[in-house]
Amino acid sequence: MKALLLSAGLGTRLRPLTNTIPKCLVPIHGRPLIEYWLELLSNSGEFDILVNLHYFSDEVRDFIEKSPYFSIVSTVYEEELLGTAGTLLKNRDFFENRPLMLIHGDNLSRFDVKAFIMRHANRPSGCEITMMTFTTPTPGSCGIVELDEYGIVRAFHEKVESPHGNLANGAVYILEPTIFDFLESLDKEFIDFSTDVLPHYIGKIFTFHNDVYHRDIGTIESYMTAEREWDLIKKQPFEYTHKR
């Protein structure tokens, strides 16, 4: 399997941290955020990884080339940002018409990668996406999902004041290659995965619940929370029990 690790964003909500470094290189316990993803995917033994670049692209490329993961990582530069799904479509050939993992790289996450892949492999008929979910303590700040008894997404509630529950979209997905035909049908270059793609697939999205650790590093507050939490999380034995 191949993965697209989205890393080109400007990180405006993380300023002033991102005034001098890209969001994906923001340090968590002294290590760049992107390194946690590269380590997680590399340790699974499953992936070739594509990283898109834009903001401080030279710094990100330099980090990757000097990292232990350089042999499994390719990079692509975007002169203008294409959106989270626009990047996917632009690099269609990289994925060789096979299932792929799409990762928003501004999250810090720990989970059983192979269990996620197996969950997708055993998805119900008709589902073309498997979405990672997590339980959020701040449902008003997240995209909340409603599932049916089979674990299929039946509704989204995007950052609403009184959301239906606290089961959130983790912005990590496994996608069937059929998604590229839909992206092409939109006939535009800039495509946002959350707003342009997900609504079309309601009823065709299976779920995988991350009950180990997942946090969006989108704001200074969440960044500081991750700094406090990660030291404890990394010391815990990594035992994954799938519950959904």
Q: Domain ranges for the chain, please list them.
A: 2-131+170-192+211-233
User: The whole model's pTM is what?
Assistant: 0.90
Q: Provide the pLDDT for residue 134.
A: 93
Bond preceding residue 16 cis, omega within 30 of 0: yes
Q: Which long-range contacts (CB under 8 A, 24 or more apart) does 39-43 make?
A: 39/69, 40/109, 40/110, 40/111, 40/113, 41/3, 41/5, 41/72, 41/101, 41/113, 42/68, 42/69, 42/72, 43/113
Report the CATH architecture of 2-131+170-192+211-233.
Alpha-Beta Complex (3.90)
Question: What is the full per-residue pLDDT of the chain (244 aa) written as tens digits?
Answer: 899 999 988 767 768 767 888 888 888 888 999 999 999 999 888 789 999 999 888 899 999 999 999 999 999 999 999 999 999 999 999 999 999 999 998 899 999 999 999 999 999 999 999 999 998 877 766 788 999 999 999 998 876 666 677 899 999 999 999 999 999 999 999 999 999 999 999 999 999 999 899 988 878 887 777 878 877 666 555 544 443 3
